[in-house]
Amino acid sequence: MAAEPLWRDLLRRRVTHAANGYSEAQDAACLAALQETGLALGQARAALSLVDHFAAGWRATGGPPAKGEDFSAQFEMLFQGIAATMPAPNPRRDRRLIFQRRLWILLRTVRESAALAYADEDTLNELDRRIILLLASQGDTPLSQASKMIGIDKAQVSRAVKRLEEAGFIARPGVRSPLHLAASARDRINRLVRIALLRDRELTFDLGEDALATYFDVVESLIARARLQFDQERELANSPAGAPIVAAEGASSRCGIRIDRSRVLPPLSTLTSYIVRSGALLYKRVTPLSNFETWVLSSIECNAPMEWARLVETVNRDESQANRTLRRLSELGLIEREGPPGRRNGIFRLTEDGARLHRLIEDTGADRSDFLLHDIPPQRLRSFFATFDTIAYNARAQLARENARAELGGP
């Protein structure tokens, strides 16, 4: 496994620092780090549980948990036991091909910390903030251009703009006029900008200018190709037979991202938006499932057998939506339930048909990642992923700090 040295080191450090215990934020950060190496959530949880019990045993002996030859030998046996239970690696799923999963984990971490950082602005959702911060950075912008830069459907952006007009953040003389930030909301806007600048600069801690220049250049290429992917999926939406996605003229069209340390995250959000939108069209075309149903199916497979409570936690949706999705997947013969009566007591796993469909989804995801990363020189990819790893590490530290601040009730 290519990521084995990294998660071996993560588990060893987990044992080393076990004496002080772990907060919920530290647990979440460690799980996210293990998932970024390619482990499924269920595998990451099982690995942490094993090493925590191992550390508890060492503490019970009264000796330091990470010293001496006995510790090293026993830890190596434990690690090899964990490694032996892992599925054989798919050669297509190297660290590049799981980029979309790692990108989703990074943005989830950032959103969790943002919910705490912007707690005083609880009337604004994430899209509202993205529009305000875009206008603060770019100046007056037409609605269609804002939609393209954010990567969100124009109708959805239009509804958000209407909310922001009613809340006094945006003022424009007519519906066709460029979006303009209202002077009357300048104090609140400046507060949002200050928080965003601080958070984005924290994410670039320990990154040099050359690394950031390569990062922005690669992200710009990825967004251009993700847009092309989305445009082609729209064309294929009514053609079930479809055609393979190939690079077309204009595929290298750029969106003009500025190299700006204070705006390192918005391009990743835009990239994710295009990936999700094209993925929704693609999965609807090649499977009987929606994008969310595909996500639930993959979550069950990666964590099988999966309990109801963990499923709701993983997909981050309310119980009624999760229950409706499980019922549909069951009706399609893709999942099966075991356990006593009552949905909260059951555990779920894929049927043979579900496993076959999941393999199709995995192969399709690999094809999409291949397309996004096509023609980017290996050296630039290595630099990009090194920068991405640093940003992800800083995001986990940022979340741990926000959680600690919230627990202490600080400002």
The verdict on residue 175 lying in a domain is: yes
Q: What pLDDT, on a 0 to 100 scale, did the predictor assign at position 254?
A: 43
**Cβ atoms of 56 and 20 closer than 8 Å:** no
- Determine which of 83-87, 142-146, 403-407 has the lowest per-residue pLDDT on average: 83-87
Q: What pLDDT, on a 0 to 100 scale, did the predictor assign at position 219?
A: 92
The residues, ordered by sequence, that sit 6+ positions from 53 with a Cβ below 8 Å of its Cβ are none
The verdict on residue 116 lying in a domain is: yes
Q: What is the pTM of this model?
A: 0.68
- Mean pLDDT, all residues of the chain: 78
The verdict on residue 14 lying in a domain is: yes
**At which of 85, 115, 143 does a domain end?**
85
Q: What pLDDT, on a 0 to 100 scale, did the predictor assign at position 189?
A: 92
- Most confident residue range from 29-33, 42-46, 404-408: 404-408
Q: What pLDDT, on a 0 to 100 scale, did the predictor assign at position 316?
A: 62
The verdict on residue 232 lying in a domain is: no
Question: For residue 306, what are its two tokens?
Answer: 């999966």
In the predicted model, is pLDDT for residue 251 greater than 60?
no
Q: What pLDDT, on a 0 to 100 scale, did the predictor assign at position 410?
A: 59
Question: For residue 353, what are its two tokens?
Answer: 């048909």
| Distance, CA of 220 to chain centre | 18
**Mean per-residue pLDDT for 337-365?**
80
The residues, ordered by sequence, that sit 6+ positions from 126 with a Cβ below 8 Å of its Cβ are 111, 114
Q: Over the stretch 95-123, which tens digit does the pLDDT of each residue have? A: 444 677 778 888 888 888 988 888 877 68
The verdict on residue 117 lying in a domain is: yes
Regarding whether 71 and 131 lie in a shared domain, the answer is no
Q: What pLDDT, on a 0 to 100 scale, did the predictor assign at position 246?
A: 43
Regarding whether 153 and 202 lie in a shared domain, the answer is yes
Regarding whether 196 and 128 lie in a shared domain, the answer is yes
The verdict on residue 373 lying in a domain is: no
Regarding whether 168 and 111 lie in a shared domain, the answer is yes
Pairing of strands 335-338, 306-307: unpaired
CA distance 334 to 354: 4
Q: In Å, what is the CA distance from 360 to each residue of 257, 285, 288, 356?
A: 34, 12, 12, 6
Q: What pLDDT, on a 0 to 100 scale, did the predictor assign at position 86?
A: 62
Regarding whether 115 and 202 lie in a shared domain, the answer is yes
Can you list the alpha helix ranges (DSSP code H) found in 151-249?
154-166, 186-203, 209-236
- Determine which of 80-84, 94-98, 202-206, 330-334 has the lowest per-residue pLDDT on average: 94-98
Short-list 311, 293, 411, 304, CA closest to 361? 293
CATH number at residue 400: 1.10.10.10
The verdict on residue 71 lying in a domain is: yes
**Cβ-based burial of 233 (10 A; exposed 0-12, middle 13-18, buried ≥19):** buried
Q: What pLDDT, on a 0 to 100 scale, did the predictor assign at position 243?
A: 47
- Determine which of 51-60, 79-88, 359-368 has the lowest per-residue pLDDT on average: 79-88
Q: How many domains, in total, are found in the chain?
A: 2
Q: Over the stretch 206-241, which tens digit does the pLDDT of each residue have? A: 888 899 999 999 999 999 999 998 888 888 876 655
DSSP 19: G
Regarding whether 135 and 175 lie in a shared domain, the answer is yes
Q: Which residue has the tokens 């990819």?
A: 381
Q: What pLDDT, on a 0 to 100 scale, did the predictor assign at position 2?
A: 44
Q: What pLDDT, on a 0 to 100 scale, did the predictor assign at position 162?
A: 92
Regarding whether 111 and 201 lie in a shared domain, the answer is yes
Q: What pLDDT, on a 0 to 100 scale, did the predictor assign at position 43?
A: 73
**At which of 85, 115, 138 does a domain end?**
85
**At which of 85, 117, 137 does a domain end?**
85
Question: For residue 345, what are its two tokens?
Answer: 């007591």
Regarding whether 195 and 112 lie in a shared domain, the answer is yes
Q: What pLDDT, on a 0 to 100 scale, did the predictor assign at position 7?
A: 62
The verdict on residue 225 lying in a domain is: no
Domain span including residue 141: 105-206+392-408
Question: For residue 367, what are its two tokens?
Answer: 């094809």
In the predicted model, is pLDDT for residue 201 greater than 70?
yes
